[in-house]
Amino acid sequence: MASKKKAVKVDSTGFNGNLYDYFSDSVSKDPDLKTIVDAKTKMFFPTKLDLLDYKMGKWVEMQGDSGSDYLSIGPNEGSLITIVGDSGSGKSTLAVQLACNIVAPYDPQMAWVDHFDEEEATTIERVCMLHPDWDLEDAEQYYHLKDSGLSVEKFYLYLDHICKIKSQLAEKIMQESDKYTDRFGVPLSFLPPTVVILDSLAVLQPENVIEKNELGTSMSTTSTAKSFATLFRSMRRLLRKGNIFVLVVNHLLDNVSINQYETKRAPVNYLPANKTVYGGKTPVYLSNFVLLIEPGTKLKSDESFGFDGFLNTLTIVKNRSNKSGQKLAMVFSQEMGFSNELTNYIYLKNEAKLIGGAGVSFYLKELPDIKFSQKKFLKTIKTNKEFRKKFKRTIKELYTDFVFVRNTDDEDGSEEE
């Protein structure tokens, strides 16, 4: 039987018997400590790539027995996401798609993308292709390309300026969810998202290296690595405070060993043992998510889905909200980017075994009368309402199982013997 709390008399100090409450109240009044605040339930921002969103998912558990726990999918507000891969693997394409899908649900006067495209690989027309819901006018409102004048120091100052402006206007621009709450039932409030793409880390240099024009010296390499470490440590606070997503495009490098007989160990878990990433370990360690893209089976326009591309493997090397090391088969079109619908189709066909048939007579096993060829799958899901509805429901039911669920005891509070 639980012991009853003893009544405690409040003395002249205001202490009522709850030491933590007394301490917290004291901290809130201290000018040096009051900036330290309790963690809050963060709003989440789906990327519209269902398989990736659910693999990043987590349950928000509500207080009490209301049974209103809900699923949070996609990255949380203010996430730092690093995307790595070899040249041509689709890194920049994925960054553009994630950025567009994060800001698209919001007013372009409040939410936007800044793309520092130092490699000059993206155009506004390409953005429209990768986000077909936008026409050119939409894209120009949401998406802002920048291709020169950047340094490590200026990148930090740019993020700091975004954070300051949004903080100054917080009372005017703060938004409130009409669907999601914290664990106490209070609606989630959040600043509209800003997404900044750094494409790529390999072309970012500190001011002193740029000014001295040091090319590849050991001194410049050391200086750059140190400046990256400082940048990534410093900007994490800005991202959380200003709800700024930073998507860093990075390159895989060969992990060169001096001794050819030495056993190579991956510098970061779930990266290939013979590979490392540019800029040292700090950018990876401080990222909320690290996504590795590796090209797989080649897709040809006269076969399969009717376009040139790859069935890529995306590994979530680092995952702050779910399991790290998960591998996802992602359908990549060289023209249209990563396809959410076809990626879901591949999962149902190859992993869940819920697609039957062959040739021009593939079908969802729960709807065997609706037939389609793989080339016409996208048309079928777009035009057939019954098929689309059943397909989406099946995906949601399957993907929900990817999210951790806390083990609970029996309803009477006792464990099964």
Q: What are the tens digits of pLDDT across the range 359-388?
A: 999 999 999 999 999 999 999 999 999 999
How far apart (Å, rounded) are the C-alpha atoms in residues 47 and 53?
6
Residue 38 lies in a domain: no
Question: How high is the pLDDT of residue 414?
Answer: 39
Question: How high is the pLDDT of residue 413?
Answer: 40
Residue 53 pLDDT class (50, 70, 90 cuts): very high
In the chain, the percentage of residues whose pLDDT exceeds 90 is 65
Residue 321 lies in a domain: yes
Same domain, yes or no: 274 and 162: yes
Question: How high is the pLDDT of residue 38?
Answer: 83
Same domain, yes or no: 242 and 361: no
Same domain, yes or no: 270 and 137: yes
Residue 318 lies in a domain: yes
Tokens standing for 186?
């209070």
**Residue ending a domain, choose from 307, 338, 369:** 338
Residue 178 host element (H or E): strand 175-181
Give the domain CATH number at 131: 3.40.50.300
Average pLDDT over the chain reads: 89
How far apart (Å, rounded) are the C-alpha atoms in residues 298 and 307?
10
Average pLDDT over residues 307-318: 96
How far apart (Å, rounded) are the C-alpha atoms in residues 99 and 114?
9
Same domain, yes or no: 372 and 389: yes
Same domain, yes or no: 114 and 174: yes
274 phi/psi in degrees, rounded to 5? -95, 15
How far apart (Å, rounded) are the C-alpha atoms in residues 59 and 73?
9
Q: Which residue from 247, 313, 202 is spatially nearest to 97, judged by alpha carbons?
A: 247
Residue 6 lies in a domain: no
Question: How high is the pLDDT of residue 398?
Answer: 96
39: which strand partners? Answer: none
The residue with greater pLDDT, 166 or 218, is 166
Residue 261 has pLDDT above 70, yes or no: no
Question: How high is the pLDDT of residue 1?
Answer: 45
How far apart (Å, rounded) are the C-alpha atoms in residues 286 and 31?
29
Q: Is the sign of the CA dihedral 161, 164, 168, 173 positive or negative?
A: positive
Q: Where do the DSSP E strands lie in 211-354?
A: 244-254, 275-277, 289-299, 309-319, 326-333, 337-338
Question: How high is the pLDDT of residue 280?
Answer: 83
Average pLDDT over residues 30-48: 90
Average pLDDT over residues 31-51: 91
pLDDT digits (tens, 9 = 90+) for 126-182: 999 999 999 999 999 999 999 878 999 999 999 999 999 999 999 999 999 998 998
Is residue 100 within 8 A of residue 127, CB to CB? The reply is: yes
Residue 112 lies in a domain: yes
Nearest-5° Cα angle at 87, 92 to 95: 15
Domain coverage including residue 325: 50-338
Q: Which residue from 134, 141, 130 is spatially nearest to 339, judged by alpha carbons?
A: 130
How far apart (Å, rounded) are the C-alpha atoms in residues 417 and 415?
6
Average pLDDT over residues 243-259: 84
How far apart (Å, rounded) are the C-alpha atoms in residues 222 and 238?
25
* Number of compact structural domains in the chain: 2
Three-class DSSP category at 393: helix
Which value, to the nearest 10 degrees, does the dihedral of the CA atoms of residues 407, 408, 409, 410 take? -120
User: Which residues, at least 6 apart from 122, have a Cβ–Cβ distance to it below 8 Å?
Assistant: 92, 96, 115, 145, 199
Same domain, yes or no: 269 and 379: no
Residue 319 lies in a domain: yes
Same domain, yes or no: 116 and 199: yes
Lowest mean pLDDT among 118-122, 326-330, 361-365: 118-122
Nearest-5° Cα angle at 229, 200 to 220: 70
Is residue 162 within 8 A of residue 235, CB to CB? The reply is: no
Question: How high is the pLDDT of residue 412?
Answer: 43
- Kindly give the pairing relationship between strand 80-85 and strand 326-333: unpaired
- Kindly give the pairing relationship between strand 244-254 and strand 143-146: unpaired
Lowest mean pLDDT among 66-80, 234-248, 351-365: 66-80
52 phi/psi in degrees, rounded to 5? -70, -45
The residue with greater pLDDT, 173 or 226, is 173
Question: How high is the pLDDT of residue 217?
Answer: 56
Residue 306 to residues 145, 359, 382, Cα–Cα distance (Å): 31, 13, 16
**Residue ending a domain, choose from 338, 367, 383:** 338
**Residue ending a domain, choose from 305, 338, 371:** 338
Same domain, yes or no: 306 and 358: no
The residue with greater pLDDT, 176 or 12, is 176
Lowest mean pLDDT among 39-48, 282-291, 349-358, 402-411: 402-411
- What is the side-by-side order of every strand in the sheet holding 355-356? 355-356, 362-364, 367-372
Question: How high is the pLDDT of residue 214?
Answer: 57
Residue 11 lies in a domain: no
Residue 263 pLDDT class (50, 70, 90 cuts): low
User: Which residues, at least 6 apart from 85, have a Cβ–Cβ distance to it below 8 Å?
Assistant: 91, 251, 252, 292, 293, 294
Q: Which residue has the tokens 């099964």?
A: 416
Same domain, yes or no: 257 and 159: yes
Residue 14 lies in a domain: no
Tokens standing for 77?
């507000």
Same domain, yes or no: 76 and 161: yes
Residue type, 224: T
Same domain, yes or no: 242 and 351: no
Most confident residue range from 67-71, 212-216, 268-272, 359-363:
359-363
Is residue 112 within 8 A of residue 278, CB to CB? The reply is: no
Helix axes 152-168, 218-242, angle to 10 degrees: 10
Q: Which residue from 285, 291, 330 is spatially nearest to 310, judged by alpha carbons?
A: 330
Same domain, yes or no: 202 and 252: yes
